[in-house]
Structures are given as C-alpha cells and as structure tokens.
Amino acid sequence: MATSSSQSEFDRTGSRTAVERRGNTRRTTHAVFTARLDDAQVMGGGRDISRGGAYFVTSDEIKLEVTFTANGREVRAPAKVVRMEALAPGTLGIAVQFERRLHEQELP
C-alpha cells in the first residue's frame, strides 16, 4: 500500500501502520474497461439523506462482467465491485475483484 510522504508507514513505537492485504501484484494499465451489470439490485440500510443524494450501506454483492483488450484479444471476466470512491465531481474510481485469477497473457 502506498503511503504519502507526509504520512508515515510506522507509528511512534516503530510498529508498521500500513498492512498490505492484496494477494496479487498490481501493475499500471491504460486499458479501456467496459463493465456490464446484469439487472443488479442491492438493498441496504440508509445512513443519511439530503435533497441532493443519499448514503446507504449494503452487504449485497454487486456482480458484473468486465471486458478489456489484452495483447490484441478481448478478455471477459466475471467480477464483483469491492470499492467505489468519488475522485472528483462526476468521476468515480471502481475496484473490482475477478471471480477467477487471470492468466498472465490475459493482462494488458
């Protein structure tokens, strides 16, 4: 897990504060991804609401199929959403977990 230079990876006792939980090495990609949701429906409990939006919490999985091109071939991979974050107004970052490990030649 990358930490910013202003945020230490260790606390004042010298204990590591950042824990790497990923089981796979990430690499940078500029591939174009397409995600298709098949009639996804999730239910959850509301946390807050305003006239402009709402925040709710769910334990339901949001399943989708991700498509991208790698080495001149289209790769389709069933996946589930594991994190979404607002990066800027109108821009979302979406992290998905593939239902199976991709082969090396399937990576862009």
**Alpha-carbon span 71 to 54, nearest angstrom:** 41
Indicate if the pLDDT at residue 44 is higher than 90. Answer: yes
User: Would you give the distance in Å from CA 14 to the centre of its chain?
Assistant: 30
C-alpha distance across the termini of the chain, in Å: 22
Q: What is the pLDDT of residues 63-108, one digit of tens each?
A: 999 999 988 999 999 999 999 999 999 999 999 999 999 998 898 8
Q: How many helices (H) and strands (E) does the chain have?
A: 0, 6
Model pTM score:
0.69
Report helix, strand and coil shares of the chain as percent, to nearest 5. Answer: 5, 45, 55
Decide if 3 contacts 18 (C-beta within 8 A). Answer: yes
